[in-house]
Structure 1
């Protein structure tokens, strides 16, 4: 079962929605196909139960509300929005997700499809219970991979394979696990033959990292990137976790890497926080930073991936 938030009407919000609606995916194409699709990418929102809570000099809930309002003013409805992990502040308590959903409500009321991955500060059960309520007694939630929440979202232009790198709550390292790697291979084999982006919260391990940094990233990333390298339709890997807006390449495979900025706080006060517009057509994907501080020198910066 993917973590995907269905579009929301005010009436539907009062009813909280059903489990079936919660699993809805943005898989249908627009009535009139357009050459370019707009997607929105959020990451590291770190929402606490207390909407007024500040950390590292910012109010996380205020930042998320600002970003949501900015998305509503971009001039066209995005085909979908991905929140790439660490939705919650530290330990993913249930009340964190209640506040997270409240901040995301204006987007859902405009029928924007929202998909969430999980990061190391999230808690699977608490998130699901906050969104759809606990499962019936003696029932298990359906999942594509045991104890992981993954899905593939596909449109006329692109596939997004959304992974679950959460290993232990409030512990820095991430892990996919063999069962998820097997699922990824199956999805890559069976998904439509179109440009494909892999999305996970944790940054990949690189040979040039020092040992401390290696200990905090995706621990089985070598196995993942060996797999990705065998599929030419994979055009990039998108991650968060480091709270740094950046484009690089994977050192071993050369696959483009896009590091999303945080909506919450940055670790380096000189770096921008904010969100990203992804514009995708038949030949390329353009990722544009929308910094919360529009005076920041990187606001509007574009990272482009040309499809091969």
Structure 2
């Protein structure tokens, strides 16, 4: 990967979208002037189901988020949707519905990058979004990629442990993916590295969330800490928003687009990251406009 998409209809888009790295075609000059090369949109936990009606809250939230992004004068250089694309266990109709909902991003020329979470099914994902599976994948049976931006490199990981009818909450990268990540980081030492994976690490955050988190967090962290270009680990999975640090690396938990289990403590939304030379500003946007998180800006300085 990456996958370079030519101009496409919605039907073609449905079968072409899906690489961990999806690059838009050359934008028209007017559209290119609207792209901020240092701006990233971060969504996660979209949880789209085939049976969702148009007016149901979950697809409505994603539709509203997509419409907001398309309407921006300063469009992001990358849109990362960080896992749990499907509601339950990743059926074909779920991904077909998901692709229709995010099609306006493609039509607007925005690069979209997808990772997988515990509610996804890798093979079904590839079957529906056919161009997503590389002929010679960098990690066999994993959906990974690297996105290069002027001020940072984004490393997209696959923390889906198992797939099938029974959903397993925990995540796992595995030795092969960790080896790939180490080699890729060593090949890209010159810019800040931001790590994206769906699952929260079992360190540095709130211990109540550790049981459902990433099982091989300790070896991952040893790998990341040893490479000074690694600045942050960005995840979803918890359906909440918070920020921690562990051994110098920022851990950013971004809010779910779909739903929350405790509306008194959390709400749905998405995140805009503005990269700088020394760090980034993360702005939370929420579907509930009066919520305290809406418009909240958090400045993060790199180690």
Q: TM-score, normalised by structure 1?
A: 0.86
Tell me if structure 2 keeps the 8 A contact 1:81–1:114.
Answer: yes
Cα pair distance change 1:16/1:113, threshold 3 Å: closer
Mapped partners of 1:213, 1:134: distance in 2: 31
Tell me if structure 2 keeps the 8 A contact 1:175–1:218.
Answer: yes
Within the candidate set 194, 218, 221, 1:222 is matched to: 218
Name the SS for the 2:84 alignment partner: coil
Deviations along 1:51-76, whole A, 9 cap, x unmatched? 3289xxx6211110011001112221
Query: Once the 2 structures are TM-superposed, how far is the Cα of residue 306 of structure 1 from its aligned partner?
Result: 1.2
Partner of residue 104, structure 1: 102
Partner of residue 61, structure 1: 59
Partner of residue 199, structure 1: 196
Does residue 260 (structure 1) correspond to residue 254 (structure 2)? The answer is yes
Does residue 164 (structure 1) correspond to residue 165 (structure 2)? The answer is no
Tell me if structure 2 keeps the 8 A contact 1:117–1:201.
Answer: yes
Structure 1: runs of 5 or more not aligned: none
Structure 2: runs of 5 or more not aligned: none
For 1:32-111, list aligned pairs within 5 A.
Answer: 37-52=38-53, 59-111=57-109
Partner of residue 142, structure 1: 136
Tell me if structure 1 keeps the 8 A contact 2:37–2:149.
Answer: no
Partner of residue 181, structure 2: 184
Partner of residue 285, structure 2: 290
Tell me if structure 1 keeps the 8 A contact 2:42–2:272.
Answer: yes
Cα pair distance change 1:133/1:51, threshold 3 Å: farther
Name the SS for the 1:183 alignment partner: helix
Mapped partners of 2:254, 2:18: distance in 1: 28
Name the SS for the 1:72 alignment partner: helix
Q: TM-score, normalised by structure 2?
A: 0.88
Deviations along 1:149-205, whole A, 9 cap, x unmatched? 111111111100000000013210000000000001001100151111000000000
Tell me if structure 2 keeps the 8 A contact 1:7–1:112.
Answer: no
Report the RMSD for the aligned CA atoms in angstroms. 2.9
Mapped partners of 2:257, 2:202: distance in 1: 23
Within the candidate set 230, 233, 249, 1:234 is matched to: 230
Name the SS for the 1:174 alignment partner: coil
